[in-house]
Every structure is written in C-alpha cells, then in structure tokens.
C-alpha cells in the first residue's frame, strides 16, 4: 500500500505528502508575508521531492505560529494576498495543497480556517474549525459545517483541524458526507502524542476511511510542536509515521478506491453502515431509530451533562481571555432555513 513512500505509484493510488513544518514566529504583516512565501517554497520542495505526489498537506498554524495573536493586521482573508500566493504555488507546481490560515472575522474573533486548493490554483474547500482547543484557543467556533470535496485520483477529501479529531462525531460526519480520505492538520505539542496516534487510527477504522494527519514541528523558543506526520489505512493500520524533524515531508501512497470497496463489501466491522442499521440480521433493514440521548438533546438545544454544574472551565479566563457575551450564529443552519 505504501509504494515505498509513493515512489512506485499504482493506477488507483493517491500520493500524499505531510509537511512537518518548522513552528514559525509571526508578529507583523511583514512576518506574515515572509512566512507565506516560505510555505509556498515548501510546496515547490514537495513537488521536487516526489514527482508522483498528488497532495501536499501543511499543519495548522503554518502561517501564524502558536502565539494566539488576534491582531487584525496579521489576519488573512479568503480573497487576500496570502491565499493568492498559496494558489499560485499550487498551480505553478501542479499539485493539490492543504493550508492553514487565521481568517479575519468582522463580527468577532478570527476563525481558524483550513483550505484545500487544487493543482490549477482553484479553491476547492473552505473549512472553519468547529472545535477550537478551549480554553487555550480564542478562535470563533466554525459555522460552515464540514464540507467535502472531490480530490485527485478518486479521493473525496474532508478536512478537520487539530482538536476536531478528538471527537469521533467529527470523523463520522466526514465519512457520512462521503469522504474516503480525512486530513487532520495540527499544532499539537508532545503531551498530546498518545491521544494523537490512537484517535488517528480509531477515526480511520471506525469509518473505513483513510486518515492523513500532520503537526507543526520544532520550537519557537516557547512551544515545542511534535511533527508526527501519520497516515493510517481504512482498517486502522498505520502506513507511515514521521518523527519530529522540522520541514521533513512524510509521504505515502494510499488507495481511496479500496476504502470505497471495503465500504461496499465488508460485513463484519462495517461500522459506519451498521451504526444506522442495528441488528439487520434480526430485523429487516436493521433498526434505524436514534437511541442516543445526547444526539436528541443536542438537536433540541438542551445538551447537558450530568456533572455540568461542577465543571470548572467554561470560558477562557484561565488563559487570560475575557468572558464572552456574544451568542453563536451558525451560517450553515441559517442558509438551510432560507
């Protein structure tokens, strides 16, 4: 399946490169431009590194670093110069790319945003992180749902960001919307290493979906990101794992077509199908009810844990952020209601 890191590409193969990018320090607009140019050059490095590569994936915070600085002068816009540079890098090098920006939000805190750009420089996917890593991160919760796009070589791509991948419901939503490859970009530091590995594997196995995940790497003088690029097959088997060397590109071939085949032909452990068709041996078509209280409560807007009253951290005060007073607006829900 690995094809020697993608050197030997099969006809149904998708070759992915994960850039364990050096953790940057970005303070000024000039820093932001310089860092964007560095990322664009790494796109070129990826293409030179492996001529068979279809998709290069950069970590979360690859343009902004881990400072959590919300200075509007270093926030990006979808139609801004930073995204244009990344689009040009993809078209010039004829490669798909996955990138991270902090997106300006005129109505509140910035969004932590992920983008997928095709090999012609066209924006194919725009995602805003649904689950910021609270209470550490100040970003506005995402309001565009989880989009899925057609990718190269039979892939259907979804993107989640860092903490998103700790929620099994996120990976399930990606798969339910058709993704056979889920990308996960992150800035995680070493204490998350164990959780990173097991969730990358569980997200793949539970959904018969390939996962490709990568963190920033190295130190900015304060934080130490872990690298740990990791590609997992749809059966939960790790295909390739990187270490912590900054700017190393971890590569592998994966087979989206085989993930699609497994979803059709597997009986035992076809969990994403069986989740909505409980006990189909006993009852025709399986039970298709919703026996899960937490799902019903969330839809009704009354999600409440039995221990919720005693929870200590319910805002960002522990990390110096003021208590918010704005309510959340979900653009995806609002659009559906139009």
Task: Give catalytic residue positions.
Answer: 60, 129, 162
99 torsion bin: left (phi>0), alpha (psi -120 to 50), beta (else): beta
Cα-flanking dihedrals φ and ψ of residue 124, to 5°?
Answer: -105, -25
Name residue, tokens 């997106």: 103
**CA atoms of 161 and 205, how far apart (whole Å):** 19
Name residue, tokens 């059709």: 264
Q: Which of 242, 217, 251 is nearest to 61 (CA)?
A: 217
Q: Which of 310, 223, 204 is nearest to 262 (CA)?
A: 204
CA distances for 237 relative to 109, 155, 170, 211, 322, angstroms: 38, 19, 20, 10, 43
Both tokens assigned to 326? 């704005």
């Amino acid at each position: 399946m690995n094809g020697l890191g993608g050197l030997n590409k099969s006809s149904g193969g998708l070759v992915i490169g994960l850039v364990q990018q050096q953790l940057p320090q970005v303070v000024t607009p000039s820093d932001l431009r310089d860092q964007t140019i560095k990322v664009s050059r790494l796109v070129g490095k990826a293409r030179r590194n492996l001529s068979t590569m279809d998709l290069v994936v950069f970590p979360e915070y690859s343009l902004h670093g881990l400072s959590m600085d919300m200075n509007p002068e270093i926030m990006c816009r979808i139609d801004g110069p930073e995204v244009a540079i990344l689009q040009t890098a993809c078209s010039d090098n004829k490669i798909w790319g996955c990138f991270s920006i902090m997106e300006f939000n005129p109505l509140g805190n910035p969004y932590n945003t992920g983008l997928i750009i095709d090999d012609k420089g066209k924006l194919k996917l725009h995602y805003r992180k649904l689950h910021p890593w609270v209470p550490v991160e100040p970003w506005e919760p995402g309001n565009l749902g989880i989009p899925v796009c057609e990718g190269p070589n039979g892939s259907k791509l979804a993107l989640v960001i860092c903490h998103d991948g700790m929620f099994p419901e996120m990976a399930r939503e990606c798969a339910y919307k058709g993704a056979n490859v889920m990308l996960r970009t992150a800035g995680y530091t070493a204490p998350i290493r164990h959780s990173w590995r097991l969730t990358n594997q569980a997200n793949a196995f539970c959904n018969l979906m390939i996962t490709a995940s990568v963190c920033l790497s190295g130190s900015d003088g304060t934080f130490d990101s872990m690298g740990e690029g990791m590609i997992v097959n749809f059966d939960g088997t790790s295909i390739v794992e990187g270490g912590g060397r900054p700017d190393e590109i971890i590569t592998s071939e994966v087979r989206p077509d085989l993930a699609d085949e497994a979803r059709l032909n597997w009986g035992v452990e076809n969990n994403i199908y069986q989740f909505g068709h409980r006990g189909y041996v006993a009852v025709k078509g399986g039970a298709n009810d919703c026996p899960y209280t937490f799902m019903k409560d969330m839809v009704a807007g009354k999600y409440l844990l039995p221990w919720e009253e005693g929870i200590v951290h319910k805002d960002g005060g522990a990390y110096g952020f003021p208590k918010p007073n704005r309510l959340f607006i979900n653009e995806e829900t609002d659009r559906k209601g139009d």
